[in-house]
Chains A and B, each alone.
Chain A
Amino acid sequence: MLLICSLIANVGILAIFKYFNFLNENITLVADSLGWHNHIPFLTMLLPIGLSFHTFQAMSYTIEVYRGNQKAEKHFGIYSLYVMFYPQLVAGPIERPQNILHQFHIKHEFSYFNLVSGLKQMAYGLFKKLVVADRLSIYVNSVYNNPELHNGSSVVISSIFFAVQIYCDFSGYSDIAIGSARTMGFELMTNFRRPYFSKTIPEFWSKWHISLSTWFRDYLYIPLGGNRVAAHRRYFNLFIVFMISGLWHGANYTFILWGALHGFYQVVGLITKPYVSKFETNAGIQNNIIWRLSRGLLTFSLVTFAWIFFRANSIHDAFTLIGNLRSFGEAPFLGNGINQFAHCLLALTLLFSIEYCMEYYPEFTLFNNRRIWVRWGSVVALLFIILVFGVFNGGQFIYFQF
C-alpha cells in the first residue's frame, strides 16, 4: 500500500508538471472538433529542473526497499542527497540506491588519483559538448528549424549530425557528472558505452542511456512479464515500454513516435533474429568484417532515422523533413559554410578516432598513459582543441529539458 502511495505521488508530480498541459491540449482538440468548449485552464508553472531524472531515482529507491534489495535509509539528509546529488541532478545517470547510497555513509579522503581522473573525464565531456555537439548543432538547427527550406541532402547530413550531436551532448554531460562526482570520491554508474558501434538495435539500447534503459527493464519490462511470457505478449510489452520511454522524454507526439519506432525495431529484430542467425551460420559470415560493418551501418541508419522524430519541432515538421528526402541536390548553406563544415569534419574525425580506440584498443590510452609527457601532452592538447575549435555560445544540454 505504501509502495503504491509512493509511486502514485512520484508519478503524480511528474504528470502534473510535465503532462497536464499536453493532456489538456488534446482534450481541447477533441472538444473543439465536437463543438464543445474545454474549460480546464492550462498550468503556467515552470518545470523543476531534472524532474524526470530525480523522480525516477526516487522511485527506484522505493521499489528497491520494497523488494528488500536495499535497507531503508533512516537519515533524511542522506536520502535527500541521494535524490538531489548535484552532479547528476539535472540529467542523470539515474542512480540505483545499491550503487550510490552506501557511498554517502563513507568518509571520503582527498585522493589525487580520483581528482585527476575525474577532471580528465570532465575535460573529455567538455570536448564532446563544445567541440562536437555544439558545432554540429549549428547546422542541425538551421535545417530542423526551417524544414521547408531544405532538400534531401541537408536532411540526411543534418540527421547524421544530430545523431552524433545528441550522443555527444548527453554522454558529454554524463562524463562531466561522473567526473565531478569522482573528484569528490563518488563513483556513478556508466551511462554510455559507445552505442554507435552497435550491430543491432538491442545492443544499441544496452549501450545508450544505460541508467534509463535498465530502469525501464527492471521496473517496467520485467514486472510486465519480461522474456518469460508468450511471444506476442513479449512484443506488446516491448512496444509499450519503448512508447513510455518516449513519453518520458517529453510531452510531445514526436517523442512518443520516436519511442514507438524503437519499439517496432525491437519487435522486428526479435521476429527476424532466428532467420538472421540461421542465414549467418549457413553463410559462415558471423565474423565477416563486411557483414558486421553492414549490420553496424544498418543499425546506425535506423537509429538516425528515428532521431528525426526526436529532434523535429512537431510531427508535421518530421514528415516534411522525411518528404524532403525525395529531392536531393546541393545542401543549402553547405557551400557558404565551408568553415563550419571543416570544423564539423574535424570534430567528427577526432571523436571517431578517440572512440574507436576506446572501443577496440582499450589498452591504448592517452590520458592515462604510462609516459608522463604523453599523459600531460594529451590533456593539454585536448584543452586547446576545446579552446581553438569549441563553440562557446552557452548552448544548453539537450537533456536538461527532460
Chain B
Amino acid sequence: MRSNDFIKFGKSLVIFIIVMVTVDYVIGFSLEKLYFSLKRGQFAQTTFSIDSTNQDVIIFGSSRALHHYSSPIMAEKLGTNLYNAGRDGQFIPYYCALQDAILKRKIPKLIILDVNVWEIAPNDEKYEKLSMLLPYIHNHPEFLKYIKEISEWEHIKLFSKTYPYNSTVFVSLHDFLFSESLPKDDNGYFPLDRTMSLSDFNNYKAKKIIYDDKREKMKVPFDTKAIEYYDYFLKQVDSLGIPTYVVISPTILKEPSTKEKLLIERMAKSHKYVRFLDYSSDPEYNNQYQKFADEFHLNTQGATEFSYEISDYINNDKTSFK
C-alpha cells in the first residue's frame, strides 16, 4: 500500500509539474504578447518610457509629474524636445530604474525630477509598486536590484513566465479592447480637465489639518532606503553633468517645512548640477482650488500656468550651470 502510494504520487507529481510548466508558458506568453501590443494607457506609456525615450529633456516623477508638466508648452518654451515620464503611484526607486534604462542609450540635456515629501516617509506598501518593472526584467537585468526591493524572493518567482504579468490582466484587456477611447498622451503629459469644487476643497482642508497634526505627533521616521535611492539619482546626474531641477510642484495647501522637505532640499543643493525649486508655498497655487483637479493634482489650467512659469524660470536660470 505504502509503496503503491509513493509510486502513484511520484507519477502524479511528474505529470502535475509538466502540466503546470506548460500552462505557465502558454498563459505567460499570451499575457506578454497582450502587454507589449498595447498602444495606449499606462502600460504602453511605461513601455515607451523604458524602451524608447530619447528626448533631450526628461521629466521624472509620480502622478504629480504626469499631470503638472505640459510637454507641448514646455517643449515650445524651452525650444527642445521633451518627454514627461511621470507615472501614477510611483516613487524614487522607480525613477532610478527608469534613469538607468534611459542612460543606457542616451544622456538627456536636462532632467526635471518632481518629488514630494511623502516619498521619503515610510510606507510598507510603496515598494510593491515596483512590480510595474517585472514585465521588463528580461530585457533590463539592471532592474533586478529594484525588483528585489519588493521581496527577497522576487527573483525566484520570476522562474514563472506568468508571474511578471500578475495583476495586469484587467488593465491590459481594457487598454487593448478600448484603445481608441483612451485619452492620448502628449509626449507623456496627461491633462486633468476637471476642477475641484469648493466644498471638496473645504473638506480636504479640514481633514488635512487633523492629518498633519497627527503626523507631527507620530514623529514619522525617514524611509532611509528611499533616501539612498534619491541620493543615487542625484549622484548619477551630477557625475554625468546633466543639469537637473528637483522640484516640489504646487500643492493646494501650503506644505509645512517638514524635516522631509528640508532633507530633500539639502541633498539637492549639495550637488553641483542640481537645483532645487519649491512651489509648495506658492500663493499663486495655495488655496486656488480652481487650478486643481483634486487635492493632489493641478488641472489643465493650473498645469498650463505652472508649465509656463517653470519654463521661464529654467530659461532664465540655464546659464547658472555653466
Contacts and interface: CB of A to CB of B under 8 A. Distances in A.
Interface of A: 109-112, 115-116, 138, 141, 146, 148-149, 336, 339, 342-343, 376, 380, 383-384, 387-394
Given A138-B125, A387-B160, A388-B165, A109 B171 contact: no
Contact of A110 (B2, B19, B128): B2
B157 interface: yes
B2 A109 contact: yes
A134 to B, nearest CB: 10
Contacts of A391: 167
Interface stretch (B5-13, B177-185, B239-247): B5-13
Contact of B150 (A110, A149, A336, A393): A393
9 contacts: A110-B5, A112-B8, A112-B9, A149-B211, A383-B20, A384-B162, A387-B166, A388-B169, A392-B151
B157 A110 contact: no
A336 B293 CA distance: 13
Nearest to A389: B167
Pairs of residues from A and B, 7 with the lowest C-beta to C-beta distance, nearest first? A112-B5, A342-B170, A148-B207, A393-B128, A148-B210, A112-B8, A339-B171
Contacts of A342: 170
A146 B24 CA distance: 39
A200 B88 CA distance: 44
Given A339-B167, A376-B19, A394-B151, A387 B8 contact: no
B172 to A, nearest CB: 10
A380 B167 contact: no
Contact of A380 (B20, B128, B150): B20
* Overall SS of chain B's interface: helix
Contacts, number: 66
A209 B8 CA distance: 36
A115 B16 CA distance: 14
A390 B163 CA distance: 10
Nearest to B128: A393
Contact of A343 (B125, B128, B151, B170): B170
A291 B5 CA distance: 50
Most buried by B among A109, A146, A376, A387: A387
Contacts of B226: none
B1 interface: yes
B220 interface: no
B27 interface: yes
Q: Chain B: interface residue count, which band?
A: 20 to 34
A141 B126 CA distance: 13
B103 interface: no
Contacts of A387: 24, 160, 162-163, 166
Nearest to A336: B88
Nearest to A391: B167
Nearest to A109: B2
Contact of B19 (A380, A388, A390): A380
Given A148-B211, A380-B19, A380-B20, A388 B162 contact: yes
A116 B11 CA distance: 13
A110 B23 contact: no
Contacts of B207: 148-149
Contacts of A376: 16, 19
Contacts of B8: 112
A146 B211 contact: yes
A254 B84 CA distance: 46
Contacts of A392: 151, 157, 163, 166
Contact of A111 (B5, B20, B125, B157): B5
Contacts of A116: 9, 12
Given A146-B211, A148-B207, A380-B19, A388 B6 contact: no
A218 B191 CA distance: 64
Nearest to A381: B23
Contacts of B1: 109
Interface in B116-131: 125, 128
A342 B88 CA distance: 18
A337 B62 CA distance: 15
B125 A141 contact: yes
